[in-house]
Amino acid sequence: MQTPQIMPIDVTGVVTVIMGSLVILIPIAGITLRFAIKPIAEAMAKIREGQRADREMALLQQRLDLLEQHLAGMESEVHRLREVQEFHARLKAPGE
């Protein structure tokens, strides 16, 4: 049985071929990835935009609720002031 003979490898030739191939393949891979990732990035941006809009809407709803509470408090104050004013008017006019 014969042992297989190992041939010498030209390392500089192999490195040159690999580097030459990478010079061409890396930009091609980058362009391909850009086109592949762009729709995903846009979809993620839209999702974040929607979440931001939801948070802004919730914040606006809270502000509106607080304004409504404040308005209700002011209306009750005005009602009480009218009652006090009527009471003072009745006190000032005892003959009626």
The full DSSP string for 30-63 is: HHHHHHHHHHHHHHHHHHHHHHHHHHHHHHHHHH
Q: How confident is the model at residue 96 (pLDDT cuts 50, 70, 90)?
A: low
Rounded percentage of the chain residues whose pLDDT exceeds 70: 96
> Does the pLDDT of residue 95 top 80, yes or no?
no
* pLDDT tens-digit series, residues 38-76: 988 899 888 888 888 888 999 999 999 999 999 999 999
Residue 96 corresponds to which tokens in the numbers above?
Answer: 């009626």
First to last CA, the chain: 137
Which two tokens mark 42?
């846009």
Q: Is the pLDDT of residue 94 over 80?
A: no
> pTM for the complete prediction?
0.47
For residue 2, report the phi and psi dihedrals to the nearest 5 degrees: -100, 140
Domain boundaries in the chain?
33-96
Q: State how far the Cα of 73 lies from the Cα of 67, in Å rounded to an integer.
A: 10
